[in-house]
């Protein structure tokens, strides 16, 4: 529970840090958007000024064109009037000539000749006039045509040059944009490398902590080795004593037992050393991987620095070339302006500017879309990399599992071999002791000296081998520690170098960012300059087009004047119609202007409504965030409550363990009372030891299975955490899209946000912890139910088999020993159910149960059957025990003296070896005390067996309790089935399920107490049954009875194992099915979120287009805003005047305040003076009173 609490606290801190990071990112994004809005607002008046200037220029151009048209019309009218005058004169002359022809003259011939001459002269004059006029006008027209054609050609050349320059500049702008994007990607990669380095530093810190732990383990092992050396030295001293003195048969089993214990200790230490070596190898592998990652990151950083340097140099070169091109373009622009001003004074129309702005907006939208696609592709790549890493880690974990299983198999083989050797040594010892007993019955307890010497040599040889192996292991550990230290120093040095390199790279990155910002500013300036040049180019193109149109119109006019001089009046009529059409167009323009003003007002209203709606949505978002914070607080409170309840449950379980320990101590006392009976059956004790080992192995296997299940749960939790991170990233993207876009996007994404929040709450770590707790409780209850079933089966089998096992008589100690063994097995099994938290304590208790009986049986000798037969529980036993006590005391004194001499010979002071002597005394004194207590408990036990049965141990009460417990177990199974069926529904439940879990925990505690009572009552009943069987059947064979009881115990253990394996497999299948369902739901939710993201992107593009159109429409509102500004300026002037008046009044009031303050200060001074005078008078009065008192006295 503490680990889970720590993990939850760490997850809470991670979530808070992530939220702070997201909050800072959103704040920075908002600041950027606000700055962009301010820039756009600032650009608005500039654009308005530009549009105004252009409109004024266009109006001036229109006035100039109107003046030119008027001049042309006047010239045409004058020419028409002159032609009409000429026609009138010709007609008058023709009329005169006709009148002259009609008048009869005297000389007909002379008249005709004169008339002909006058007609020829008039005709010649008319032709000469026509030629003169036609030649003059043609020359003028041709000269103007040539000039305009030349101007046209020059304009075309300038146009082509401008187009070529604009194309080159566009290409350069595209290159600059691509370079800028590359630099941004490089900066992002550098940030990623920084993150990776920070992660590596954290992992190194973890590795250092692991090192410290390993060093502590090493120190502990050294201390254990030192204690083992001391123990081995004591054993060597004992061996020397056994060589120098007459061998005792009772010491051989003790030595063998000590040897077995030493072997087991050595095996345990070898296992620990192997585990430590594996850990060291894993740490070294991790360090190697981290070094490779660091090297790769360094290489990437070097490449990025090189790329940045090359990009900077290229950007500088390109900037220089652009500056040169700009200078050349400026020069060419000046020349073009001069030519254009000489040709005509036309400017760029407003429509082309709008088209260019639309193109720029479209390009910006495409750039944003490409950036979003790049970010999405990067996220996908990162996810793929993470998945590959997860698969690699899974493969490593599987390899580690395989190696661990192989090592466990090897260890089991070694243990089996050692057990076989012990079994072989046992029969050999018995064969050696049997003939000696037959030859000499009174001295049958003493084996030959040659056998003892051979055993001592074998023991010495094994001890030497153990010493050599231990020294080799110590040398290996030292070498590995040295290598590990050197690697750690190298890693620290490399880390310091990398940190310095990172600092340098960060400084270079900062410089590069500064240079990039400068270059971006320069690029923006260049882009503005290019836009101006494009505008000028467009103006020149417009001028050239206008010039072409004018030339064509002039050509048409010349042809019309040459071909149709007489149709000038019709042209005047056409001009009048054109004038009327122009007046109609002006009227239409005015109407369109009024419509546009109405649209501007409508847009203002929409903007006001949208701003109000945005404020409402912001308020709603704040309310939702507050609700989320409150919900989070409630969840934390519930978690704290569950932790408190779990702590209470743990305390109750600890109390239960204390009770069980007390009962265990009572059982040990009972076992001590039966140790004399067990002294005659050493083989039975060995069998019990083997059974205890098999139980330990079974418990270890169960622990391995539990560990596997926990590892699988941890993996599934990691997968869920990864999916939660993906959902959080998608949630953040959705929130950013909502903040960027207005009402429509927020309305579309509101259901998605709700669904994502529900899924995130459903997959939160708090909820997963709740599921883990419920699963552990299910496993715990299932194990209890299985244990109860197996205990009931055992009870029924014992009841069925007890009346059958009645062949012959048996002794009382053999009856008591099986009665004590099932109770100990039941207690150990009951303790094994209490989960992983009490497994270590249970093993310690079992070891405590197993070691003292074996030592006592080996240290004491079994009395002969003749002695037992001579006097049932007679005086031979007491005499034998007294002699045995005296022998043990003498041996202890001799061992102490010999051990002190041995330490002095080795150069060790006796004061230094006092600890070992105290250890020996502690080892010997409990045995002697147990021997003394054994007699007392044996007598009490005999008295208890001799008394009749009481009514408290009657079978009917026990059967009633049994039935009640069976009903409780049935109800428990039904509840477990219900919980297993409703578990998928509880995944999306609320916090109320925590209270149910607490109730289940309390119920399980009650069930444990009831099972404990059942075991106690069952033990009492079995004891009473055994007593009755012993009394009724004194001719019962103890060996067959013990074998049958051992078979029953084995069957019970088999049933328990099968039930536990079945329950664990079923729970594992349920968990896997539930996790698969969760993964399917998460996949479906991710697909839905992706579809909604695509819809939001489409909506975003549409809204961006609409916003661009709205911006174009809003530009026209600036004129009205200027009028409002003028009004506001007038209001400001009025306010300033009012402020000046108020300032004057404030100055007067200040003067009055100063005067009043001076008056107050004067009054305060006068008051202080009066106070001083009063104090002086009081002092004088006090002195006077003192003087009068003194005089009176």
Neighbours of 1089 (CB within 10 A): 20
The mean pLDDT value for 835-855 works out to: 39
The mean pLDDT value for 675-699 works out to: 64
List the Cα angle 310/311/316 in 5-degree steps.
100
pLDDT band of 1050, cuts 50, 70, 90: confident
| pLDDT tens per residue across span 208-265 | 787 777 778 777 777 777 777 777 777 667 766 766 654 444 445 666 776 777 777 7
- Lowest model confidence (mean pLDDT) among 71-85, 276-290, 406-420, 1165-1179: 406-420
d(CA 720, CA 715): 9
Packed helices 812-832 and 568-673: angle between N→C axes, nearest 10 degrees: 170
d(CA 619, CA 674): 81
| pLDDT tens per residue across span 578-620 | 667 666 766 776 776 677 777 777 777 777 777 677 777 777 7
In this structure, what are the phi and psi dihedrals at residue 210, rounded to the nearest 5 degrees?
-60, -40
For residue 987, pLDDT beyond 70:
no
Report yes or no: 542 and 185 within 8 Å, Cβ to Cβ: no
d(CA 840, CA 842): 5
The mean pLDDT value for 158-176 works out to: 75
d(CA 447, CA 456): 13
Amino acid 1053: pLDDT: 62
For residue 884, pLDDT beyond 50:
yes
d(CA 837, CA 841): 9
For residue 941, pLDDT beyond 70:
no
Instruction: Check: pTM over 0.85? Answer yes or no.
Output: no
d(CA 849, CA 135): 142
Amino acid 714: pLDDT: 76
DSSP letters for 191-221: HHHHHHHHHHHHHHHHHHHHHHHHHHHHHHH
List the Cα angle 193/735/629 in 5-degree steps.
95
Amino acid 192: pLDDT: 74
Amino acid 824: pLDDT: 38
Amino acid 792: pLDDT: 42
d(CA 929, CA 672): 11
| pLDDT top residue among 128 and 44 | 44
Q: Which of 672, 679, 671 is nearest to 865 (CA)?
A: 679
| pLDDT top residue among 1077 and 347 | 1077
For residue 449, pLDDT beyond 60:
no
d(CA 176, CA 184): 12
For residue 1158, pLDDT beyond 80:
yes
- Which residues have a Cβ under 8 Å from the Cβ of 628 and sit 6 or more positions away? 757
Q: Which structure tokens are listed for 602?
A: 């409508």
pLDDT band of 849, cuts 50, 70, 90: very low
d(CA 675, CA 482): 52
The mean pLDDT value for 1135-1155 works out to: 79
pLDDT band of 1019, cuts 50, 70, 90: low
For residue 901, pLDDT beyond 50:
yes
DSSP SS3 for 347: coil
DSSP one-letter code for 1116:
G
**What is the residue whose two structure tokens read 């006029």?**
133
d(CA 1061, CA 989): 30
d(CA 867, CA 880): 10
Q: Which of 783, 846, 791 is nearest to 1048 (CA)?
A: 791
**What is the residue whose two structure tokens read 């991987």?**
289
Q: Which structure tokens are listed for 239?
A: 């061996």
The mean pLDDT value for 530-546 works out to: 71
- Which residues have a Cβ under 8 Å from the Cβ of 566 and sit 6 or more positions away? none
Amino acid 915: pLDDT: 45
Amino acid 791: pLDDT: 43
Amino acid 1030: pLDDT: 59
The mean pLDDT value for 1113-1119 works out to: 70
Q: Which long-range contacts (CB under 8 A, 24 or more apart) does 286-291 make?
A: 286/203, 286/207, 287/207, 287/487, 287/491, 290/200, 290/203, 290/204, 290/491, 291/491, 291/494
The burial class, CB within 10 Å (0-12 / 13-18 / 19+), for 1056 is buried
Amino acid 343: pLDDT: 47
- Region of residue 907 (left: phi > 0; alpha: psi -120 to 50; beta: else): left
| pLDDT top residue among 461 and 1029 | 461
Amino acid 345: pLDDT: 42
Amino acid 14: pLDDT: 84
d(CA 871, CA 62): 148
pLDDT band of 969, cuts 50, 70, 90: low
pLDDT band of 732, cuts 50, 70, 90: confident
Q: Which structure tokens are listed for 638?
A: 């519930």
Q: Residues for the chain: how many in total? A: 1193
Q: Which of 123, 86, 118 is nearest to 99 (CA)?
A: 118
- Lowest model confidence (mean pLDDT) among 521-535, 832-846, 888-902, 1124-1138: 832-846
Report yes or no: 209 and 283 within 8 Å, Cβ to Cβ: no
- Lowest model confidence (mean pLDDT) among 81-85, 752-756, 850-854: 850-854
Q: Which structure tokens are listed for 803?
A: 């009346």
d(CA 697, CA 411): 11
- Lowest model confidence (mean pLDDT) among 501-510, 760-769, 1091-1100: 760-769
Average pLDDT, the chain: 65
Dihedral through CA 503, CA 508, CA 513, CA 519, nearest 10? 170
Report yes or no: 642 and 997 within 8 Å, Cβ to Cβ: yes
Q: Which of 472, 491, 480 is nearest to 278 (CA)?
A: 480
pLDDT band of 167, cuts 50, 70, 90: confident
Amino acid 524: pLDDT: 74
Report yes or no: 732 and 18 within 8 Å, Cβ to Cβ: no
Amino acid 347: pLDDT: 42
Q: Which structure tokens are listed for 219?
A: 């120190």
List the Cα angle 751/757/759 in 5-degree steps.
105
pLDDT band of 974, cuts 50, 70, 90: low
Report yes or no: 808 and 1017 within 8 Å, Cβ to Cβ: no
For residue 34, pLDDT beyond 70:
yes
d(CA 657, CA 1008): 11
For residue 217, the number of C-alpha atoms closer than 13 Å in the C-beta half-sphere is 17
The mean pLDDT value for 327-353 works out to: 55
For residue 810, pLDDT beyond 70:
no
- Lowest model confidence (mean pLDDT) among 486-490, 731-735, 740-744: 740-744
| pLDDT tens per residue across span 301-321 | 677 767 766 766 776 676 666
Amino acid 794: pLDDT: 41
Report yes or no: 763 and 724 within 8 Å, Cβ to Cβ: yes
For residue 662, pLDDT beyond 80:
no
Report yes or no: 173 and 527 within 8 Å, Cβ to Cβ: yes
Amino acid 919: pLDDT: 42
DSSP SS3 for 805: coil
For residue 789, pLDDT beyond 60:
no
DSSP letters for 265-280: HHHHHHHHHHHHHHHH
Amino acid 230: pLDDT: 76
Cα separations (Å) of 1139 from 1132, 1136, 1150? 10, 5, 16
């Amino acid at each position: 529970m503490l680990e889970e609490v720590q993990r939850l606290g760490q997850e809470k801190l991670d979530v808070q840090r992530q939220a702070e990071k997201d909050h800072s990112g959103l704040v920075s994004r908002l600041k950027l958007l606000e700055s962009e809005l301010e820039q756009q607002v600032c650009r608005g008046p500039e654009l308005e000024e530009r549009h105004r200037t252009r409109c004024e220029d266009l109006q001036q151009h229109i006035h100039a064109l109107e003046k030119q048209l008027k001049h042309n019309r006047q010239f045409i009218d004058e020419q028409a009037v002159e032609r009409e005058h000429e026609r009138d004169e010709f007609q008058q002359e023709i009329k005169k000539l006709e009148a002259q022809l009609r008048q009869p003259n005297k000389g007909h011939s002379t008249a005709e000749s004169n008339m002909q001459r006058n007609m020829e002269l008039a005709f010649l004059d008319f032709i000469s006039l026509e030629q003169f006029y036609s030649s003059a006008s043609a020359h003028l027209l041709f000269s103007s045509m040539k000039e305009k054609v030349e101007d046209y050609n020059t304009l075309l050349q300038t146009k082509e040059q401008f187009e070529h320059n604009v194309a080159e500049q566009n290409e350069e702008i595209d290159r600059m944009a691509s370079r800028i994007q590359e630099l941004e990607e490089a900066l992002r990669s550098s940030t990623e490398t920084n993150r990776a380095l920070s992660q590596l530093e954290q992992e190194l810190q973890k590795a250092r902590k692991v090192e410290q732990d390993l060093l502590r383990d090493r120190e502990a092992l050294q201390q254990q080795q030192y204690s083992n050396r001391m123990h081995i030295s004591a054993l060597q001293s004992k061996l020397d004593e056994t060589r120098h003195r007459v061998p005792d048969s009772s010491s051989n089993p003790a030595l063998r037992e000590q040897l077995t214990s030493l072997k087991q200790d050595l095996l345990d230490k070898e296992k620990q050393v192997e585990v430590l070596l594996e850990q060291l190898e894993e740490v070294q592998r991790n360090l190697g991987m981290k070094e490779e990652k660091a090297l790769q990151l360094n290489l990437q950083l070097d490449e990025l620095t090189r790329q940045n340097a090359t990009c900077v140099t290229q950007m500088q070169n390109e900037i220089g070339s652009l500056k040169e091109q700009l200078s050349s373009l400026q020069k060419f622009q000046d020349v073009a302006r001069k030519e254009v001003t000489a040709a005509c004074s036309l400017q760029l129309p407003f429509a082309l500017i709008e088209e260019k702005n639309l193109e720029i907006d479209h390009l910006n939208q495409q750039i944003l879309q490409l950036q979003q696609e790049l970010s999405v592709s990067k996220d996908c790549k990162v996810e793929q990399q993470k998945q590959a890493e997860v698969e690699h880690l899974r493969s490593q974990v599987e390899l580690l599992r395989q190696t661990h299983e192989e090592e466990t198999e090897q260890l089991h083989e070694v243990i089996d071999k050692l057990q076989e050797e012990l079994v072989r040594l046992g029969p050999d010892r018995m064969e050696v002791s049997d003939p000696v007993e037959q030859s000499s019955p009174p001295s049958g307890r003493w084996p030959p000296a040659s056998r003892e010497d051979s055993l001592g040599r074998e023991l010495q040889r094994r001890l030497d081998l153990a010493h050599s192996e231990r020294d080799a292991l110590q040398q290996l550990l030292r070498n590995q520690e040295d290598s590990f230290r050197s690697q750690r120093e190298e890693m620290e040095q490399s880390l310091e170098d990398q940190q310095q390199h990172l600092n340098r790279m960060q400084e270079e990155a900062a410089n590069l960012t500064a240079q990039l910002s400068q270059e971006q500013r320069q690029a923006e300036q260049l882009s503005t300059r290019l836009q101006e040049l494009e505008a000028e180019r467009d103006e020149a193109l417009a001028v050239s087009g206008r010039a072409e149109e004018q030339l064509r119109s002039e050509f048409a006019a010349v042809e019309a004047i040459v071909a149709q001089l007489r149709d000038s009046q019709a042209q005047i009529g056409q001009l009048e119609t054109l004038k009327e059409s122009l007046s109609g167009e002006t009227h239409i323009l005015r109407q369109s202007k009024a419509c546009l003003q109405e649209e501007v007002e409508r847009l203002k209203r929409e903007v006001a409504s949208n701003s109000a709606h945005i404020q409402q949505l912001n308020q709603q978002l704040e309310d939702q965030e507050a609700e989320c914070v409150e919900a989070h607080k409630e969840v934390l409170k519930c978690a704290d409550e569950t932790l408190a309840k779990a702590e209470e449950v743990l305390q109750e379980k600890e109390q239960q363990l204390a009770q069980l320990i007390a009962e265990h101590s009572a059982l040990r006392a009972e076992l001590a009372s039966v140790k004399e009976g067990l002294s005659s059956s050493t083989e039975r004790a060995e069998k019990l030891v083997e059974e205890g080992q098999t139980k330990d192995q079974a418990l270890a296997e169960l622990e391995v299975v539990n560990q596997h299940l926990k590892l699988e749960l941890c993996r599934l939790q990691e997968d869920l955490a990864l999916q939660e991170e993906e959902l959080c990233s998608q949630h953040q993207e959705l929130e950013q899209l909502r903040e960027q876009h207005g009402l429509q996007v927020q309305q579309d994404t509101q259901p998605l946000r709700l669904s994502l929040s529900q899924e995130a709450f459903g997959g939160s770590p708090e909820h997963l912890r709740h599921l883990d707790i419920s699963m552990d409780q299910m496993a715990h209850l299932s194990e209890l139910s299985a244990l109860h079933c197996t205990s009931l089966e055992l009870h029924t089998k014992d009841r069925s088999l007890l009346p059958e096992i009645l062949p012959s008589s048996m002794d009382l100690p053999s009856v008591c020993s099986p009665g004590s063994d099932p109770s100990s097995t039941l207690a150990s099994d009951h303790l094994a159910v209490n989960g992983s938290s009490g497994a270590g304590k249970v093993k310690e208790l079992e070891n405590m149960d197993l070691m003292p009986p074996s030592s006592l049986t080996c240290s004491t000798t079994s009395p002969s059957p003749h002695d037992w037969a001579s006097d049932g529980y007679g005086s031979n036993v007491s005499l034998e025990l007294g002699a045995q006590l005296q022998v043990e005391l003498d041996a202890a004194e001799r061992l102490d003296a010999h051990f002190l001499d041995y330490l002095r010979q080795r150069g060790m002071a006796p004061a230094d070896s006092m600890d070992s002597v105290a250890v020996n005394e502690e080892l010997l004194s409990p045995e002697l005390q147990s021997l003394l207590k054994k007699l007392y408990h044996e007598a009490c036990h005999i008295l208890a067996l001799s008394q009749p049965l009481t009514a408290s141990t009657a079978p009917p009460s026990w059967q009633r309790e049994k039935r009640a417990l069976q009903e409780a177990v049935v109800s428990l199974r039904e509840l477990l089935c219900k919980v297993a069926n409703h578990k998928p529904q509880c995944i999306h439940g609320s916090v109320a399920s925590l209270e149910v879990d607490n109730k289940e925990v309390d119920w399980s505690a009650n069930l444990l107490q009831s099972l404990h009572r059942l075991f106690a009552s069952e033990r009492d009943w079995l004891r009473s049954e055994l007593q009755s069987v012993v009394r009724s059947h004194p001719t019962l064979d103890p060996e067959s009875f013990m074998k049958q009881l051992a078979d029953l115990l084995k069957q019970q253990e088999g049933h328990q194992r099968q039930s536990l394996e079945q329950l664990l497999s079923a729970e594992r299948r349920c968990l896997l099915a539930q996790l698969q369902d969760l993964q399917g739901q998460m996949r479906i939710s991710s697909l839905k979120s992706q579809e909604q993201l695509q819809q939001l992107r489409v909506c975003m593009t549409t809204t961006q287009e609409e916003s661009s159109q709205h911006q174009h429409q809003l530009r026209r509102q600036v004129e009205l805003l200027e009028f409002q500004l003028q009004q506001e300026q007038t209001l400001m002037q009025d306010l300033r005047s009012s402020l000046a008046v108020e300032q004057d009044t404030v100055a007067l009031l200040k003067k009055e305040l100063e005067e009043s303050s001076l008056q107050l200060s004067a009054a305060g001074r006068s008051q202080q003076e009066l106070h001083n005078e009063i104090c002086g008078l009081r002092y004088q009065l006090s002195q006077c009173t003192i003087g009068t008192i003194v005089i009176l006295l």
